[in-house]
């Protein structure tokens, strides 16, 4: 199977030599391998890719409500009978809105039931981890990672805010001289902010616990216990240290997730990583920063706006 360089050579060999041909070549090569993956798994495939790694300053690269339009288009072209074959959802995302994630997961379960597998070639962080935990099984590359699911509110880590507030209350009650210091810190949060953080924490925990219990561990007698253990690990703010922490396969398996390595099946590893290389080339070398695409070639693509070049003409 082609590696990173081989995929690039194939794209360049397919292109004629100008920008539009290069874009078309990327599409052709990528869809070729998506189709091949579908033929081998005999399952439907939808890839959900964000370009936040190569375009970190682009807004809306995270999970948003607009993404459902792309998923609706991809699901519609698959057809109701074909959906009975299940879905392999390839995820590469930094995360995003809890509300959008919950709504998207609900929609996919309506379309495919519980027969959804998450495939993680590299990274599915934060709300991307929530989506993966909403599937019956997770397949991940040895170098792939999930991340903590502690929510952020207005850019602040919700768990960090609540921990800081508890610390402030404790220190102020023990030493009143610390009131001026803590008042400056707490005042930046604004009214109702603490409640918003607490609600976001409760929401994310309840959502993931419910998905694990009723999808991944459906029918198992200790499903509730397993789900709570996993969520406790994924929301361990002190243990994880940072929301950006990359959690590896061994730790994810030890948490109790139903997770396996794509490397355990050679052809699956080859195809998934080849598909991944195709998407990364597209996100790095075109204006695209988000792609939602199925094995039939239906694609929802978000691109950076190219500012027009203004030319001043002198009257003669």
- Rounded mean pLDDT for each run of 10 residues along the chain, 316 residues in total: 79 65 83 96 98 91 96 96 97 96 98 98 98 98 96 86 88 88 83 90 96 97 97 92 94 98 97 96 92 96 65 38
State the residue range of the domain holding 160.
Answer: 150-221
Pairing status of strand 123-124 against strand 156-157: unpaired
CA distance 139 to 80: 25
Please state, for a pLDDT cut of 70, what percent of the chain lies above it.
94
Residue 130 lies in a domain: yes
- Rounded CA gap, 177 and 171, in Å? 9
- Whether 60 and 207 share a structural domain: no
| Closest of 53, 54, 32, 22 to residue 271, by C-alpha | 32
Overall domain count for the chain: 2
Per-residue model confidence (pLDDT) at position 147: 97
How confident is the model over 32-80, as pLDDT tens digits? 999 999 999 999 999 999 999 999 988 889 999 999 999 999 999 999 9
Please check whether residues 81 and 118 belong to one and the same domain.
Answer: yes
Interatomic CA distance for residues 141 and 85, integer angstroms: 23
Cα 130 to Cα 146: distance, rounded to the nearest angstrom: 9
Instruction: Tell me whether residue 229 is in a domain.
Output: no
**CATH code at position 278:** 3.90.226
pLDDT of residue 313: 39
140 part of a folded domain: yes
Q: pTM (2 decimals)?
A: 0.91
- Residue 226 maps to a domain: no
Q: What is the pLDDT of residue 306?
A: 54
pLDDT score recorded for residue 233? 96
Judge if 24 and 55 occupy the same domain.
yes
* Same-domain status, 157 and 277: no
Same domain? For 83 and 11 the reply is yes
Q: Closest Cα to residue 223, out of 254, 215, 127?
A: 215
- Other beta carbons within 10 Å of 221: 8
Establish if 176 belongs to a structural domain.
Answer: yes
What residues does 300 pair with on adjacent strands? 292
Domain co-membership, 114 together with 162 = no
Contact in structure between 55 and 283 (CB atoms under 8 Å):
yes
Same domain, 157 and 123: no
Is 49 found in the same domain as 91? yes
Structural domain includes residue 314: no
Mark whether 252 and 289 lie in a shared domain. yes
pLDDT at 238: 84
């Amino acid at each position: 199977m082609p590696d990173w360089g081989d995929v690039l050579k194939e794209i360049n060999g397919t292109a004629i030599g100008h920008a539009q041909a290069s874009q078309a070549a990327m599409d052709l090569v990528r869809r070729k391998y998506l189709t091949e993956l579908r033929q081998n798994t005999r399952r439907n495939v939808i890839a959900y890719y964000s370009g936040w790694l190569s375009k970190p300053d682009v807004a809306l690269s995270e999970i948003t409500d607009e993404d459902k339009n792309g998923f609706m288009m991809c699901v519609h072209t698959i057809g109701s009978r074909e959906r009975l074959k299940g879905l392999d959802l390839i995820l590469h995302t930094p995360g995003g809105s809890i509300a959008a994630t919950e709504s998207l997961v609900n929609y996919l379960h309506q379309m495919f039931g519980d027969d959804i597998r998450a495939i993680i070639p590299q990274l599915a962080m934060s709300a991307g981890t929530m989506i993966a935990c909403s599937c019956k099984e997770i397949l991940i590359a040895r170098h792939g990672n999930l991340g903590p699911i502690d929510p952020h509110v207005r850019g602040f880590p919700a768990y960090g805010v609540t921990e800081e507030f508890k610390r402030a209350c404790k220190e102020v009650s023990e030493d009143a001289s610390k009131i001026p210091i803590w008042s400056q810190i707490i005042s930046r949060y604004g009214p109702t902010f603490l409640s918003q953080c607490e609600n976001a924490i409760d929401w994310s925990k309840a959502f993931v616990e419910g998905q694990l219990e009723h999808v991944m561990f459906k029918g198992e007698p200790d499903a509730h216990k397993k789900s709570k253990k996993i969520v406790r690990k994924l929301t361990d703010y002190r243990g994880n240290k940072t929301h950006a922490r990359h959690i590896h396969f061994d730790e994810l398996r030890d948490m109790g997730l139903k997770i396996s390595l794509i490397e355990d099946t050679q052809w699956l590893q080859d195809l998934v990583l080849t598909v991944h290389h195709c998407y990364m080339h597209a996100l790095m070398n075109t204006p695209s920063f988000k792609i939602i695409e199925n094995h039939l070639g239906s694609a929802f693509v978000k691109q950076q706006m190219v500012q027009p070049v203004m030319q001043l003409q002198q009257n003669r």
